[in-house]
Amino acid sequence: MHTPWSTIALLSHLVSFGLSADTEAWKPRNIYFALTDRVARSSGDTGGNACGDLSNYCGGTFQGLQSKLDYIAGMGFDAIWITPVVTNSDGGYHGYWATDLYGINSNYGTADDLKAFVSAAHEKGIYVMVDVVANHVGPSAIADHQPSPLNQDSSYHAQCDIDYSNQNSVENCWIANLPDINTQNSDIRTLYQEWVTWLVTEYSFDGVRIDTVKHVEKDYWPGFSSAAGVYTVGEVFDGDPAYVSGYASLMSGLLNYPMYYPMNNFYQQKGSSQAIVDMYNQISSMFPDPTALGSFLDNHDNARWLNSKNDLSLLKNALAYVILGRGIPIVYYGTEQAYSGGADPANREDLWRSSFNTGSEIYQAISRLSAARKSAGGLAGDDQAHLYVADTAYAWSRGGGDLVVLTTNSGLGSTGNHCFNTQVPNRSWNNTFGTGSYTSDGDGNVCLSVSNGEPIVLLAT
pLDDT recorded at residue 20:
63
Give phi and psi for 5, each to the nearest 5. -115, 110
Largest CA distance in the chain: 74
> Does residue 126 contact residue 80 with C-beta atoms inside 8 Å?
yes
Burial class (CB in 10 A: 0-12, 13-18, 19+), 364: middle
The residues, ordered by sequence, that sit 6+ positions from 226 with a Cβ below 8 Å of its Cβ are none
Give the sheet arrangement for strand 393-398, strand by strand.
385-389, 393-398, 403-408, 456-460, 428-431, 437-439
CA–CA dist 435, 417 (Å, integer): 15
**Entry pTM:** 0.95
- Residues with catalytic function: 211, 235
Would you give per-residue pLDDT tens digits along the chain (461 residues)?
454 443 433 444 444 444 469 999 999 999 999 999 999 999 999 999 999 999 999 999 999 999 999 999 999 999 999 999 999 999 999 999 999 999 999 999 999 999 999 999 999 999 999 999 999 999 999 999 999 999 999 999 999 999 999 999 999 999 999 999 999 999 999 999 999 999 999 999 999 999 999 999 999 999 999 999 999 999 999 999 999 999 999 999 999 999 999 999 999 999 999 999 999 999 999 999 999 999 999 999 999 999 999 999 999 999 999 999 999 999 999 999 999 999 999 999 999 999 999 999 999 999 999 999 999 999 999 999 999 999 999 999 999 999 999 999 999 999 999 999 999 999 999 999 999 999 999 999 999 999 999 999 999 99
The crossing angle, in degrees rounded to 10, of helices 186-203 and 221-228 is 20
DSSP 350: -
